[in-house]
């Protein structure tokens, strides 16, 4: 597919993104990250041209070797003639500058390759919005013509699970001897894993880790035709096992083709619901409540004069029927509703 190009700055940003202009892509992702209105507008414009890239989620504890693995995967995919975009939300990722210099330098080996675009996302200051921003950054890379978009994230919280849910395939990375990690799998990552990778297979105990994941999987009765997540051993520092990982991704992709639409539909639902909730709360703040009113509600709940359910219902009632709520002759910002 298209490698990065440069386009005249006078063209609309969306056009430049669609032409695969790397500077435009970087600018677009910044707008999304800043939650600028232009970001939402851009997503609207590029959306019809998305849905072509294959989105690969890579999650796992900090230090598991995700970035090293992604680096190798980029090289493997480039060898297979596919262009690659990367969004990294791991705060310790070399992509985001948190790791040792050696890693960062190695990453830059791809900097000269116009078929590769790597972008890190800040984790600070985001609450829940990170998953949305990540998904939209992936859309931008998709629109820019990248064949594969890799999303690297730390697998620790709900936010990360949400991020991985934005992908077409989820790769869960573990390392030998990480009994805690295998426990964490039970707690939620298990259900999202399409492929397990035991990285640092050069270390003692890789086979035991594979066996404990096997044991967990065996609790699940995989019906005929259902994908059983493979457990692959890799050594990201040398690249051993990475070709097999790329093969497994392709196998999964072929296997999932019949139900891929369902997953993407579920993703669309999740996104619309999230945006709707966000928009509604914003609407309540801007149009329904007077300044300081929300805080007063909270004070009253804290003082046990009312409760969260009553407050939510009351606000909902007011939002449904704002005219009835408006005191006669009220002035100030509420009159802006007219
Ligand atoms: N021994 C060994 N070390 C590895 C392997 N893969 C990555 N590492 C090292 O593990 C450390 C963390 O790697 P990094 O990719 O930054 O992990 P991330 O936090 O999951 O992105 C780095 O020092 C890597 O060089 C591996 O297969 N074997
Ligand atoms: Mg990393």
- SS3 of the chain: the string is CCCCECCCCCCCHHHHHHCCEHHHHHHHHHHHHCCCHHHHHHHHHHHHHCCCCEEEEEEECCCCCHHHHHHHHHHHHHHCCCCEEEEECCCCCHHHCCCCHHHHHHHHHHCCCCCEEEEECCCCCCCCHHHHHHHHHHHHHHHCCCCEEEEEEECCCHHHHHHHHCCCEEEEEECCCCHHHHHHHHHHHHHHCCEEEECCCCCCCHHHHHHHHHHHHHCCCCCCCCCCCCEEECECCCCECHHHHHHHHHHHHHHHHHHHHHHHHHHHHHHHHHHHHHHHHHHHHHHHCCCCHHHHHHHHHHCCCCCHHHHHHHHHHHHHCHHHHCCCCCCHHHHHHC
**CB of 99 sitting under 6 A from ligand 1:** yes
For a substitution probing ligand 1, which of 64, 66, 68, 199 has the most ligand atoms within 8 Å of its CB?
A: 68
Return the residue whose CA atom lies nearest to atom 3 of ligand 1: 200
- Bridge partners of residue 165, in order along the sequence: none
pTM: 0.83
Task: State which ligand 1 atom lies nearest to the alpha carbon of 88.
Answer: 21
181 lines ligand 1 (CB under 6 A): no
Ligand 1 atom closest to Cα of 152?
21
Please report, in tens digits, the pLDDT of each residue of the chain (338 residues total). 445 577 888 899 999 999 999 999 999 999 998 888 899 999 999 999 999 999 999 988 888 999 999 999 999 999 999 999 999 885 544 454 444 334 444 556 676 788 999 988 766 544 456 777 888 999 999 999 999 999 998 765 566 667 667 789 999 999 998 666 667 666 666 778 899 999 999 999 999 999 988 988 887 777 777 899 999 999 999 999 999 999 999 999 999 888 888 888 888 888 889 889 988 999 999 999 999 999 999 999 999 999 999 999 999 999 998 776 655 544 444 444 43
The domains located in the chain, with CATH, are 49-258 (3.40.50.300), 289-337 (no CATH)
Query: Hey, whose CA ends up nearest to atom 7 of ligand 1?
Result: 65
Ligand 1 pocket, 63 CB below 6 A?
yes
**Token pair recorded at residue 290:** 């007077």
Q: Which of 236, 239, 244, 245 to mutate to test ligand 1, by most ligand atoms within 8 A of the CB atom?
A: 236
Q: Is the CB of residue 128 below 6 angstroms from any atom belonging to ligand 1?
A: no
Distance 108 CA to ligand 1 centre (A): 16
Q: Which atom of ligand 1 is nearest to the CA of 240?
A: 27
Q: Tell me how far the alpha carbon of residue 164 lies from the centroid of ligand 1, in angstroms.
A: 20
Expressed in angstroms and rounded, the spacing between residue 188 Cα and the centre of ligand 1 is: 23
Q: What is the number of the ligand 1 atom nearest to the C-alpha of 100?
A: 23
Ligand 1 pocket: which of 237, 241, 245 to mutate (most atoms within 8 A of CB)? 237
Rounded CA separation 191/50 (Å):
27
CA of 311 to the centre of ligand 1 (A): 49
Query: Which ligand is nearest to the Cα of residue 64, counting in written order?
Result: 1
Q: How far, CA to CA in Å, does 120 sit from each of 87, 94, 166?
A: 6, 9, 16
Could you read off the pLDDT of 142-188 as tens digits, one per residue?
999 999 999 998 765 566 667 667 789 999 999 998 666 667 666 66
């Amino acid at each position: 597919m298209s490698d990065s190009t440069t386009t005249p700055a006078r063209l609309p940003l969306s056009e430049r993104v669609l032409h695969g202009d790397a500077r435009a892509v970087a600018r677009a992702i910044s707008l999304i990250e800043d939650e600028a209105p232009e970001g939402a507008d851009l997503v609207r414009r590029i959306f019809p041209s998305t849905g072509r890239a294959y989105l690969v989620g890579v999650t796992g504890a900090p230090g598991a070797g995700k970035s090293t693995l992604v680096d190798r995967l980029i090289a493997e995919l480039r060898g297979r003639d596919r262009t690659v975009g990367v969004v990294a939300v791991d705060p310790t990722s070399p992509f985001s500058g948190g790791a040792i210099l050696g890693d960062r330098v190695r990453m830059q080996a791809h900097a000269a390759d116009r078929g590769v675009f790597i972008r890190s996302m800040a984790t600070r200051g985001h609450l829940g919005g990170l998953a949305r921003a990540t998904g939209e950054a992936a859309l931008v890379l998709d629109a820019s013509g990248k064949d594969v978009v890799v999303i690297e994230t730390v697998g620790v919280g709900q936010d990360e699970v949400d991020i991985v849910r934005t992908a077409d395939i989820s790769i869960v990375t573990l390392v030998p001897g990480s009994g805690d990690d295998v426990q964490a799998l039970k707690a939620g990552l298990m259900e999202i894993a399409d492929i397990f990778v035991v990285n640092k297979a050069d270390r003692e105990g890789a086979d035991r880790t594979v066996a404990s994941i096997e044991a967990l999987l065996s609790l699940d009765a995989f019906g005929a035709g259902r994908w059983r997540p493979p457990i692959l051993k890799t050594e990201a520092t040398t690249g051993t096992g990475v070709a097999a990982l790329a093969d497994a991704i392709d196998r999964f992709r072929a296997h999932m083709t019949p139900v891929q639409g369902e997953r993407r539909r579920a993703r669309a639902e999740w996104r619309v619901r999230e945006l709707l909730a966000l928009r509604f709360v914003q609407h309540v703040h801007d149009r329904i409540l007077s300044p300081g009113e929300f805080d007063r509600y909270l004070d009253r709940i804290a003082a046990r004069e009312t409760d969260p359910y009553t407050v939510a219902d009351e606000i909902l009632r007011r939002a449904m029927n704002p005219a009835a709520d408006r005191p006669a002759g009220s002035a100030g910002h509420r009159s802006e509703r007219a």
